[in-house]
A and B are shown apart, each in its own frame.
Chain A
Amino acid sequence: MQKAIRIGALVLVVGFLVTLVVFNAINPAGPDMDTWNAAMSKGDKDTAKHHFVMYTDIFCPYCDKFSDAVAANLEDFEQHYIKDENVLFEIRVTDINYVNGHSNNSKPAGIAAYCAAREGNFWDYYYALLAQIFEDYHSKGIGVDKTSPKIPDLEKSFFYHVAKDIDGLDYEKMKSCINNEETLSELDTNTRKAQSKINGGVPRFVFDKYTADGFYGNWNTDNDYKQVKLLMDAGLTTK
């Protein structure tokens, strides 16, 4: 009887492994070039050879370290990865920290990000918003890790004031969009979609066949950019 159980278990395990191999063989996982919001991506979708996706929450400090480092080295990043390596670079903004009860700011920040995307100026707004959060909080050690003081709940005005100095972004439209939560449904939909694709949290990086969770940095953009490059190169070299 015991022998039969052992053989049965062995057959089950081997069968499962064979099924996995067969499934992977008939479903080759090439890079999926679909973007959730085209305005939140960089690169040529039609000719790109690689697809980099970052699942993020604007009030996740580890995500912000990555994006701050990219923003500080934008020219090099765009030249090397987006142009030379032909990467489609996409950011998928969620309010997962709001959904999980960790930060009330994630929701208005997410709404504002989608408002800026709707106005066609996501990237300038995104980097300006992160710079403002860094200046007001992260640089002072607030909201930088789980033991640091939390960033207080911010007024909606914090998010539309950032739009004031951005060329090509209509301040009044941004103000109205944020106040009326006009992009809330898109944020909710994308957060729900993201929840099924991430291991419970952000940042999650999916770069062709390479995935990574978390970002290792220290808020020094030179240091953190080295980590960004390691992550990007890991995505380019993992087959």
Chain B
Amino acid sequence: MAVRKIAETVIDRLKFACASTGLILKRPKAILLFLFCLIFFLYFLTFFRDGSSNWQLIWSGLPFDRKLEVAGRIFPAMLENFCSFYGITIILLSLLQSIIIMHLVFAWRHRERASALDGASTSGIGAVLGFIALGCPSCGIGLLTPLLSAIAGSAAVALAEGLGYVFTVLAFALLIYSFVKLGYTNYVTILAAKQK
């Protein structure tokens, strides 16, 4: 019974969070912020999608114009994300993160600073988890693998495979939690402003 009540509350709050997202997105500045964050996160996650090779190219001895080529090749690759389930995961992570940042800024500007800070820390952890869970741990090129290699040596690859999935799920859970919490707070704020 209690579980059912909690589930109903969560679903209600999720609905309010979605409603407040729609309301905030009616503001041109919010749309701009959302689009900027979406492109930024999509670019960033796509850059590291297949390991750290792009990062290593940027720090190599390549001339500046070739480094620009490395950076520029990410833009068409961002669209390729729509063609695979793995790419869709990247798009969903970017979308969630962008919506949360939009909510964070809204909450901050409407003096809901405690909620904004709470949301920032939770979504921050979610974003980091999502980021390090990227790559292909089975091939050892995930960002998690080198990190674990330092601790667990050659066992890291096997460990990274499982942990990669756990981190992805955790990342989504934390981001959705932040979205629901911030979105609900902002819905109440918008409603209160309307009543005034």
Note all chain A residues with C-beta closer than 8 A to B84. Answer: 141, 144-145, 147-148
Note all chain B residues with C-beta closer than 8 A to A235. Answer: 60
B66 in the interface (beta carbon within 8 A): yes
Q: How many residues of A contact B (CB 8 A)?
A: 44
B61 in the interface (beta carbon within 8 A): yes
Contact between B60 and A202 (Cβ–Cβ < 8 Å)?
Answer: no
Interface of A is mostly: loop
Contact between B85 and A148 (Cβ–Cβ < 8 Å)?
Answer: yes
Q: Which of B52, B154, B160 contacts A213 (CB 8 A)?
A: B52
Lowest 7 A-B CB distances belong to which pairs?
A: A201-B140, A214-B51, A214-B141, A234-B60, A238-B61, A237-B61, A102-B138
A67 in the interface (beta carbon within 8 A): no
Which one of A96, A144, A201 has the greatest number of beta carbons of chain B within 10 Å? A201
From known contacts A203-B139, A216-B49, infer whether A234 and B61 are also in contact, taking CB-CB under 8 Å. Answer: yes
A97 in the interface (beta carbon within 8 A): yes
B137 in the interface (beta carbon within 8 A): yes
- Docked Cα-Cα span, A97 to B154, in Å, equals 12
A226 in the interface (beta carbon within 8 A): yes
Contact between A217 and B50 (Cβ–Cβ < 8 Å)?
Answer: yes
Contact between A226 and B73 (Cβ–Cβ < 8 Å)?
Answer: yes
B interface residues, Cβ below 8 angstroms from A:
49-54, 56-57, 60-63, 66, 69-70, 73, 77, 80, 84-86, 89, 135-142, 145-146, 148-149, 154, 156-158, 160-161, 164
Contact between B56 and A211 (Cβ–Cβ < 8 Å)?
Answer: yes
A12 in the interface (beta carbon within 8 A): no
A interface residues, Cβ below 8 angstroms from B:
57, 60-63, 96-97, 100-103, 141, 144-148, 195, 198-204, 210-218, 226-227, 230-231, 233-235, 237-239
> Given contacts A212-B57, A235-B60, could you give 8 more A-B pairs where the C-beta distance is less than 8 Å?
A62-B51, A100-B140, A212-B53, A212-B56, A216-B51, A218-B77, A230-B69, A238-B62
Contact between A234 and B56 (Cβ–Cβ < 8 Å)?
Answer: yes
What are 6 A-B pairs at a CB distance below 8 A? A146-B164, A200-B140, A201-B141, A204-B140, A216-B54, A230-B70
Q: Which of B50, B62, B80, B154 contacts A200 (CB 8 A)?
A: B154
Contact between B145 and A199 (Cβ–Cβ < 8 Å)?
Answer: yes
Contact between B60 and A215 (Cβ–Cβ < 8 Å)?
Answer: no
Contact between B61 and A203 (Cβ–Cβ < 8 Å)?
Answer: no
Measured between C-beta atoms, what is the minimum distance from A1 to chain B in Å?
32
- Docked Cα-Cα span, A226 to B145, in Å, equals 26
Contact between A202 and B70 (Cβ–Cβ < 8 Å)?
Answer: no
Contact between B53 and A239 (Cβ–Cβ < 8 Å)?
Answer: no
From known contacts A102-B138, A199-B146, A203-B141, infer whether A213 and B156 are also in contact, taking CB-CB under 8 Å. Answer: no
Which one of B51, B70, B141, B156 has the greatest number of beta carbons of chain A within 10 Å? B141
From known contacts A201-B141, A237-B62, infer whether A102 and B57 are also in contact, taking CB-CB under 8 Å. Answer: no
Note all chain B residues with C-beta closer than 8 A to A216. Answer: 49-51, 53-54, 73, 77
Measured between C-beta atoms, what is the minimum distance from A53 to chain B in Å?
15
